[in-house]
Amino acid sequence: MSTVTVTADDGGSFSAYLAMPATTPAPAVVVIQEIFGVNRVMRDLTDAYAAQGYIAVCPDLFWRIEPGIDITDQSQAEWDKAFELFGKFDVDLGVQDLITTLGHARALDGCSGKAGTVGYCLGGKLAYLMATRSDADANVSFYGVGLDAMIGEADRIAKPYLSHVAENDGFVPKEAQATFIPVLDSNAHATVHVYAGQDHAFARVGGQHYHEGSADLANGRTAEFFRTHLA
Flag whether pLDDT at 1 surpasses 80.
no
φ and ψ at residue 157, rounded to 5 degrees: -70, 115
Mean pLDDT computed over 144-156: 98
The CB density around residue 116, as the number of other CB atoms within 10 Å, is 29
pLDDT reported for residue 62: 98
2-230 under CATH 3.30.450.40, yes or no? no
Judged against a pLDDT cut of 90, whether residue 20 lies above it is answered with yes
Distances (CA, A) of 224 to 12, 52, 64, 218, 220: 36, 11, 34, 10, 6
Residues facing 59 on adjacent strands: 16
Residue 171 to residues 1, 14, 108, 202: CA-CA distances in angstroms? Answer: 32, 28, 36, 12
| Nearest residue to 134 via CA among 9, 50, 16, 223 | 9
User: Alpha-carbon distance 144 to 33, whole Å?
Assistant: 11
> What stretch of H or E contains 143?
none
> Residue 16 pLDDT more than 80?
yes
Annotated catalytic residues are 169, 200
pLDDT at res. 231: 86
User: Among the residues of the chain, which ranges form H helices?
Assistant: 40-51, 76-88, 91-107, 122-133, 174-185, 212-230
Report the distance separating Cα 111 and Cα 121, nearest Å.
Answer: 27
User: Torsion-angle region of residue 201: left (phi > 0), alpha (psi -120 to 50) or beta?
Assistant: left
Question: Tens digits of per-residue pLDDT, 177-224?
Answer: 999 999 999 999 999 999 999 999 999 999 999 999 999 999 999 999
Q: Report the SS3 class of residue 72.
A: coil
Q: Do residues 103 and 134 lie in contact, with contact meaning Cβ atoms separated by under 8 Å?
A: no
Domain ranges of the chain: 2-230
Other Cβ atoms less than 10 A from the Cβ of 198: the count is 23
Can you give the pTM of this predicted structure? Answer: 0.97
pLDDT tier at 128, thresholds 50, 70, 90: very high
